A and B are shown apart, each in its own frame.
Chain A
Amino acid sequence: MSNTIMLWIVLPIALGVVTSFLRRWQKLYHSLSILIPLLLAVLAAIFSKNLMPNFAGQQIILNDSFVLFDRTIQIAANQLGMVSFLYLLCFGWNLLIPIFKQSQWFGSLSLIITALWVTVQFLSPFLYAAVVIELIALLSVPLLSPRGSPAKPGILRYLSAQTIALPFILLSGWMVSGIETSPSAEALVLRGALLLMLGVVLWLGIFPLHSWLPMLSEESHPWTSSFLLTIMQSSLTFFLLKVLNQYGWLRNLPELFLSLKWIGSLCILSAGVIAAFQNNVKRLPAYFFLAETGYMLLAIAFRGIGGLEILRMTLLPRVLSYWALGFSVATLQQAIDKNTLDFDSMRGLFWNFPFSSILLISTILNIIGSPLLSLFPAKYILWNLLPVDILPLSIPVAVGVLAMLILLLRLFSTIIHPKQETPLEENNSQKKEGLFINLAVSFIVLTMIIYGIFPDLLVYPFKELFSSFQNLLP
């Protein structure tokens, strides 16, 4: 295993396959699903300083490249921060798999999917990553649509979107190959950029091609969909940065960053406005995902004035918010014991499940960008940058945030007020929250507040995360 590729791509895939045969031994399976990504994340963090560290007087040497089909795949030391981040994310979700009733394949497939997302970052030529993303989409099927339930339209749309994105990305790569040596080919540059952006829009489900997002979120288990969407968004952020870092012609396209700003604002506006009218809590994570994609695009678009720093500030708090959101929605779904979480079924829920309800509300507050919570500092900077740059950009963002607040108030009112015709005692089910839930919720909410007050705490471990994107750094 004296190779970074073997250690962080091949080995996890192999272990994912092996652990899938151990599903019968639940405790062993769960323990391995938790320990393997944790170990890989820790190792990546250790080796990110140096690929030849000394352990107890013995020097370990890791090669950073691997040749496959005449192509070199390389993971250098300064890129291992990204690897560590992705495996940490996998660990975070695998940590709670014993609690939720979801696909029994989650432990092993999450590991394989994470390894494939790592591959996406380091494949060469990097636009071939589009095919790996298609593989990830196909591998997600057993998780999103487990046996025992029919295949629903959301997953079919998701597969279609990811498939249609593939040719756009690959053709853009072919179209602009060698463009660096002939910079006068303006039409070709525009065409290549347009194809690339279309591919990214389809991948991320950016408005107006977002219809699969809420459908998928509604149809699948919240814990599963939150994992898949979070790792997708984080990985595609890295991927987009890599594309911009690599392609000078794209980076220097004057219209690109302006378009990103408008697309980002439109995502926030559409997510907020559509979410405000929703009546199903399971669809909400998808709209928050869409809004956060908007913020991510805005941060990238402001790269010249500290956008990357903002992006780095939001990475871990955003993951934490998705994790908390997935946890609260999954807990409530399990508590209510219904597949749908419409507002009607959630009336008066607070009085029965106060901790889960508090977590849901505080997570939504955090995602909206409420002061004192972990996403606020970065969003505050972005909101201030908008009017300075282009005043009309702040209008859709403001409307989007206001619409999200309306949604929050509607949800709050729903879970606080019990059904009028039913006395409170009858409205309550027999189920109560356990001590674990109470402790976990208190810990998560406290963490969000602490990181809101001291935002550097979450940024510090990943301060070198973008160091490999030399061309994007100021």
Chain B
Amino acid sequence: MTDPINTIALYLALFGSLLILTRRQWTLNLIALTIQFLCLFPILCSFLPLQLAIIQPFTGLMVTLILYLTLINVGGIKRINLKLLPTSGEVFRALAGILLLSLLRAFIPQLQPAVFPTVPNTYLFLSLSLLVLGILQLGTTREPFYLAIGILTFLTGFQLLYNQLDFSLMLEALLVAVNLLLAIVGSFFIVKDAEGEES
């Protein structure tokens, strides 16, 4: 993948998912999620026709919108405070995420020909990075909202990988349904938590 747009999109998507993993500010997380999904578009366009490449980013944006509207309703959208110093937990997650990404970067050249010979190195790196960052998110949070976006990141990585291995319309349709349902479940959790706090 020599296209500079794809390279920029790849690193932006990784930055977005790292931000989701690290920071615990809902507004910032939603922006990072949007970046992550938008950056998938040029990458997907490089191996899928336009009408198919648009499905995953479009679904992702819908999911983000559903979460955003729910957060607005419960008063969860606040001004982003960039000056807020990172907590020790945030530093730990950032370091763990960077470590995992570095390990992946180091092992991808060996892993790619042995397991996924048909997937280009860089795409494999992005897919697996999203997968491991998603898993790390699932393992380090007990907050339902972050669990939902952790699952979203995980599934995005997997969907990207599987699209290159064996694209199927049925699987794509099923995964779209999973993503949308996940957004509804995430919203359900947010509303439940808000109700709990009010009572």
Contacts and interface: CB of A to CB of B under 8 A. Distances in A.
A274 B152 CA distance: 34
B78 to A, nearest CB: 21
A145 B196 CA distance: 13
B96 interface: no
A460 B193 CA distance: 49
Nearest to A167: B158
B170 A128 contact: yes
Contacts of A151: 144, 189, 192-193
Nearest to A191: B115
B170 A167 contact: no
B177 interface: yes
Contacts of B154: 163-164
A156 B186 CA distance: 11
A171 B135 CA distance: 17
A267 B168 CA distance: 36
Nearest to A173: B166
A209 to B, nearest CB: 13
Nearest to A145: B192
Nearest to A124: B170
Interface residues of A, number: 31
B138 interface: yes
Question: Which of B158, B192, B193 has most A Cβ within 10 Å?
Answer: B192
A327 to B, nearest CB: 27
A139 B181 contact: yes
A160 B147 contact: yes
A138 B139 CA distance: 18
Contacts of A361: none
B151 A160 contact: yes
A147 interface: yes
Contact of A156 (B142, B158, B170, B178): B142
A135 B174 contact: yes
A174 interface: yes
A174 B162 contact: yes
Interface in A192-235: none
A224 to B, nearest CB: 16
A177 B170 contact: no
Nearest to A68: B170
A153 interface: yes
Contact of B177 (A135, A148, A149, A160): A135
Contacts of B142: 153, 156
Contacts of B138: 160, 163-164
A138 B131 contact: no
B7 to A, nearest CB: 25
Interface in A115-174: 128, 131-132, 134-135, 138-139, 141-142, 145, 147-151, 153, 156, 159-160, 163-164, 166-167, 170-171, 174
B85 interface: no
* Dominant secondary structure at the B interface: helix
A159 B168 CA distance: 24
Contact of B170 (A71, A138, A164, A171): A71
A147 B187 CA distance: 12
Nearest to B169: A69
Nearest to A131: B174
A141 B178 contact: no
A70 interface: yes
A167 B188 contact: no
Contact of B131 (A68, A69, A148, A167): A167
B192 A131 contact: no
Contacts of B181: 135, 138-139
Interface in B121-169: 131, 135, 138-139, 142, 144, 147, 151, 154-155, 158, 161-162, 165-166, 168-169
Contacts of A134: 178
A167 B154 CA distance: 10
Given A131-B178, A132-B174, A174 B193 contact: no
Contacts of B184: 138
A70 B131 CA distance: 29
Contacts of B193: 150-151
A217 B147 CA distance: 20
Interface in A267-291: none
Contacts of B166: 174, 177
Nearest to A153: B142
Nearest to B137: A160
Given A70-B169, A167-B158, A141 B174 contact: no
Interface of B: 131, 135, 138-139, 142, 144, 147, 151, 154-155, 158, 161-162, 165-166, 168-171, 173-175, 177-178, 181-182, 184-185, 188-189, 191-193, 195-196
15 contacts: A71-B168, A128-B171, A131-B171, A131-B174, A131-B178, A132-B174, A138-B184, A141-B188, A142-B188, A151-B144, A160-B147, A163-B154, A166-B158, A170-B162, A174-B166
Given A138-B184, A166-B158, 11 more contacts: A69-B169, A134-B178, A135-B178, A147-B195, A153-B142, A156-B144, A160-B147, A160-B151, A170-B162, A171-B165, A174-B165
Interface of A: 68-71, 128, 131-132, 134-135, 138-139, 141-142, 145, 147-151, 153, 156, 159-160, 163-164, 166-167, 170-171, 174, 177
